[in-house]
């Protein structure tokens, strides 16, 4: 028989007190480079998945009709987000995809609300 362990209030409060840190990047691929860019992004995700401390998750949304990709990343802390931005695996990836990008904007954002699972 399995034993169910219920965390105490202090443990729950500590887990809920620090909201995750989010970053959004909106990227316009150069004409004719959208598929190549998406493929490199996917390869990077597969390369580092589960290996970067503090990464809670990420989403990549794409619009082939417009050549735009939206990347949403969440981190445990602001320090984790900053450490990831300096990680050679990330900076080297940026160098690889830079020739495929027409313009990009990255910004930290805060969660205003959430409903359901996306």
Bridge partners of 3, per DSSP, are none
The domains located in the chain, with CATH, are: 20-109 (3.30.70.100)
**CA end-to-end span of the chain, whole Å?**
35
Q: Are 45 and 77 in contact (CB under 8 A)?
A: no
- Single pTM value for the model: 0.77
- Per-residue model confidence as pLDDT tens digits over 70-80: 999 999 999 99
Mean pLDDT of the 39-59 span? 88
| Residue 13 pLDDT class (50, 70, 90 cuts) | low
């Amino acid at each position: 028989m399995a034993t169910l362990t219920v965390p105490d209030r202090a443990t729950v409060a500590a887990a809920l007190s620090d909201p995750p840190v989010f970053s959004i990047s909106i990227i316009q691929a150069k004409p004719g480079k959208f598929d190549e860019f998406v493929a490199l992004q996917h390869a990077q995700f597969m390369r580092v998945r589960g290996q970067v401390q503090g990464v809670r998750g990420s989403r990549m949304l794409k619009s082939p009709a417009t050549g735009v990709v939206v990347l949403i990343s969440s981190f445990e802390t602001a320090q984790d987000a900053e450490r990831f931005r300096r990680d050679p695996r990330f900076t080297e990836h940026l160098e690889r995809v830079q020739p495929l990008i027409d313009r990009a904007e990255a910004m930290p954002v805060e969660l205003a609300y959430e409903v359901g699972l996306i």
